Amino acid sequence: MDSYPAIEDHGLIGDLQTAALVTCDGTVDWFCAPRFDSPSIFAALLDKEKGGYFQIAPHDVRYVTKQLYLPGTPILITRFISADGVAEVMDFMPVTGERVTDAHRLVRIVTMVRGSMRFRVECRPRFNYARDEHQLERHHDGYVFRSRSATLTFNPVDPVRRLISEQGDIHLEGGDLVAYGTLNEGDTGGVVLETGGSEPRIFPPEEIQGMFEWTQDYWRRWLERSRYTGRWREMVERSAITLKLMTYAPTGAMIAAPTAALPELVGGTRNWDYRYTWVRDTSFSVHALLGLGFTEEVSRYMNWLDERIREAGDHQDPLKIMYRVDGSSDLHEEVLDHLEGYRGSRPVRIGNGAADQLQLDIHGEALYAMHLADEQGIRVSHQVWKSTVRLVDWLCRNWDQPDAGIWESRHHPRNYTFGRVMSWVALDRAIRLATRTGRPGDMACWTEQRNRIYDQVMARGYHRGRGTFVQAYDESVLDAALLAMPAVGFVTPSDPLWQSTLLAIERELVSDSLVHRYDPVHSPDGLPGHEGTFNMCTFWYVEALARSGRLDDARLTFEKMFTFSNHLGLYAEEIAATGEQIGNYPQAFSHLSLINSALTLNDLLDTEADARRRR
C-alpha cells in the first residue's frame, strides 16, 4: 500500500462472527478471524508497511473508483472505471450462522463489464497483528498461508486462468502471493479466502453463484422484517444492516465497532479497541431494534445481558461496562509498539483498560432495555429476576459515589450527573417492572433511593449560577450526555431547567449542528489532545430538539448529518474539524442513535402533520 486511505473510504462486509473492511481501491486492509476480537490477519489500516493486506485492482491503468452496496444487503461492489474498460469487484462473506466456527470465507469476484483490463492480485497476510511469521505453501489447486497461530487458504475460482493467468504471472515473494491476469468483456474471475485450516481447492462458478444468492436472500429476507416505513428509509435500513453486521450470532452480543486503535484525532493518542460489547451501547440499541420490529435480535441480546446480570447479581457486584462477545471479561490492554498506527497515530492499543472501571450509568441502560423488552413480551426468567433484584439492591447501596462516567475518563473519579440520572432510571424501571409483572422486590427501598437521586440531581447536578445541568457536581462544565435526559424521562422537554440547559449546550458544544461531548480543556479526562465532534451526541441533539418542539431545527440538523456519512451511508465515531470521519469505524452507537432519532423525529413530524390537517 502506498498510503493510508481515509477512514471513511471503506466498506464493511461480514458474516455475523467477524468482519472485514474494503477500501475504495479494492484493498482488504482490516480482517480479524475467527471472531471480531481475534488477532488480525490483515491490518494495513494500522500500519501500511507491516500490517498486511489483500488487494485486487487494475494494474498500470489510470482509473477512478466508485463503491456501492447491492441494495438491501452488505454485499459490496467496487467499480473501476477507465477509458479502456469498466470492471467490478464484488466482496461478500457468506453468513456462518449461530454455531461458533473457525471457518470463515471472504469471497472476491471480479467481472469485466466492458473493454479489458489487466489486474494485480496481492495477498500479503500478517498474522497475529503482524507478530507471527508465516510460510506460503503451493498446492495443486491453490495456496496456504500458514503461521503458528492460524492458517489462510487461497482458493481460485474457476476458470483459474482468467484472473490468475499464466504460471509466469504468479510470484511468491517471501511468503506473499502476487499474481496478474487480464480480463476481457464478459469475463469473470475470483478468489475465496478461507480461514480454519481447510485444504485449497478450485471453486466452480455454480458454487460461487449459490453462495452469492444465499447471502443476498438471507439479508433481503432479514430486512423485510423491518416495519419502518417512515422518512429516511434508506439511511435507517443501512444503519440496521450495519448493526446486524456487528452482532455476534452465537451469543447475540453487539460490538461497538469492528476496528481497533483508529484515532479520535489523527496523530493523537486516543486510540482505543472497540471490538467488544458495551452494556451501554447495546442496551440503547434495544429501542432502535424494537422500533424497527427486530424482536428476535432483541431477544438474543437480552439473553446475553441476562447472563451478565446473573453473574453480577449473584456475586453482589456491579455490572462490568464491557465484555467480549462470548461474555468473558478479560480485556487486558496492551500496546503494539511495532505498529505505527493509522497515519502515525500511536499508540496502537488492543484490549481495553476501561473494562474494570466503575460506571454507574450502565445499570440504568440495562434496566431501561429490560423494561422496553418486557413491554414487547420479552420477559426475564425467575432466576434472572432474582439476580436483577440483587443488582438493584447493590445500586441502592452504592449509587452515591464517584465513578469514571460515560466517557470513561482516565482521570480521577467524579460525581457525574449523567451517572446519577441513569441510576435513577435503573431504579425507576425496576419499580415499573416489578409493578407490572407482580414480581417481588424491596419497593420501599427502591422508591426511597430513586427519590433521593432525583432530589440530589436537582440540588447538585443543576448549577444555579449557570442555570444549567452540568457534567459533574460542584462543577460548571457542560456535557452532551445530558441531552439524553428528556428521552429517558428524567425531565420533561418543556421544563425551563432543561430548556436553559439545551440552549447552553447549543452555545458551547454545538458547532455547525455537530456536537462535542464536552470541553476537555475545562474538564480534564486524563488524556492529552483534542477530539472531533461525536456523531452519537449530534443524534441525541436531534432528539432533544424534536422533543422540545423545534421540529424544523431538528430535521435540518438530522439531514445535515447525512452529508457527513460516507458514500455507503456509514459513520465512524466522530467528525473531525476538516469534515472527515475519525475514530473507530463503523460505530454502532452512531448508527443506533441515527435510528432512534429517525423514529422519534418521524413520529413527531407525523403528529404535527395530523394536527395541521385537523385544523
DSSP string, 72-95: TS--EEEEEE-SSEEEEEEEE---
The confidence band for 551, taking pLDDT boundaries of 50, 70 and 90, is very high
> Which residues, 6 or more positions from 30, have their beta carbon under 8 angstroms from its beta carbon?
10, 20, 21, 40, 42, 43, 44, 45, 46, 258, 259
Helix (H), strand (E) at residue 511: strand 510-511
Are the beta carbons of 467 and 500 closer than 8 angstroms?
Answer: yes
At residue 529, does pLDDT exceed 70? no
pLDDT score recorded for residue 160 = 75
Q: What percent of the chain has pLDDT over 90?
A: 90
The 3-class secondary structure across 520-574, one letter per residue, is CCCCCCCCCCCCCEEHHHHHHHHHHHHHCCCHHHHHHHHHHHHCCCCCCCCCCCE
pLDDT score recorded for residue 166 = 56
At residue 222, does pLDDT exceed 90? yes
* Block residue for cell numbers 482488504: 28
Instruction: Tell me which residue of 464, 460, 436, 457 sits closest to 379, measured CA to CA.
Output: 436
pLDDT digits (tens, 9 = 90+) for 301-337: 999 999 999 999 888 899 999 999 999 999 999 999 9
The confidence band for 2, taking pLDDT boundaries of 50, 70 and 90, is low
At residue 599, does pLDDT exceed 70? yes
Average pLDDT over every residue of 451-456: 98
344 Rama class: left (phi>0) / alpha (psi -120 to 50) / beta: left
pLDDT score recorded for residue 506 = 97
CB atoms within 10 A of CB 206: 9
The confidence band for 276, taking pLDDT boundaries of 50, 70 and 90, is very high
DSSP lists the bridge partners of residue 511 as 514
According to DSSP, the β-strands at 533-534 and 142-147 are unpaired
Are the beta carbons of 30 and 45 closer than 8 angstroms?
Answer: yes
pLDDT digits (tens, 9 = 90+) for 234-249: 999 999 999 999 999 9
pLDDT score recorded for residue 313 = 84
Q: Helices 588-614 and 551-562 sit at what angle, rounded to 10 degrees?
A: 140
Angstrom distance (rounded) from CA 471 to CA 531: 18
> Which residues, 6 or more positions from 208, have their beta carbon under 8 angstroms from its beta carbon?
107, 109, 157, 190, 192
Grid cell listed for 581: 470521519
DSSP lists the bridge partners of residue 135 as 146
Least confident span in 194-203, 423-432, 549-558: 194-203
pLDDT digits (tens, 9 = 90+) for 399-451: 999 999 999 887 789 999 999 999 999 999 999 999 999 999 999 999 999 99
599 Rama class: left (phi>0) / alpha (psi -120 to 50) / beta: alpha
The confidence band for 569, taking pLDDT boundaries of 50, 70 and 90, is very high
Amino acid 415 reads N
Average pLDDT, the chain: 95
Asked whether the CA dihedral 60, 65, 71, 73 is positive or negative, the reply is: positive
Average pLDDT over every residue of 468-494: 97
pLDDT score recorded for residue 410 = 77
Angstrom distance (rounded) from CA 473 to CA 417: 7
Length of the chain: 615
Alpha helices by DSSP H, 82-134: 127-130
pLDDT digits (tens, 9 = 90+) for 350-405: 999 999 999 999 999 999 999 999 999 999 999 999 999 999 999 999 999 999 99
CA 454 to chain centroid, in Å, comes to 32
pLDDT score recorded for residue 167 = 55
At residue 179, does pLDDT exceed 70? yes
Instruction: Tell me which residue of 215, 299, 263, 251 sits closest to 14, measured CA to CA.
Output: 215
At residue 214, does pLDDT exceed 70? yes
Average pLDDT over every residue of 601-613: 94
Q: Is the pTM of this model over 0.85?
A: yes
162-169 long-range contacts, Cβ below 8 Å, gap at least 24?
Answer: 162/187, 162/188, 162/189, 163/56, 163/110, 163/119, 163/121, 163/189, 163/190, 163/191, 164/121, 164/189, 164/191
The confidence band for 1, taking pLDDT boundaries of 50, 70 and 90, is low
Angstrom distance (rounded) from CA 557 to CA 601: 11
Q: What is the DSSP string of 387-433?
A: HHHHHHHHHHHHSSS-B-TTTT-SS--B-BHHHHHHHHHHHHHHHHH
At residue 493, does pLDDT exceed 80? yes
At residue 164, does pLDDT exceed 80? no
Instruction: Tell me which residue of 231, 268, 140 sits closest to 528, measured CA to CA.
Output: 268
The confidence band for 519, taking pLDDT boundaries of 50, 70 and 90, is confident
Instruction: Tell me which residue of 435, 404, 538, 541 sits closest to 486, measured CA to CA.
Output: 541
Angstrom distance (rounded) from CA 129 to CA 30: 10
Are the beta carbons of 198 and 153 closer than 8 angstroms?
Answer: yes
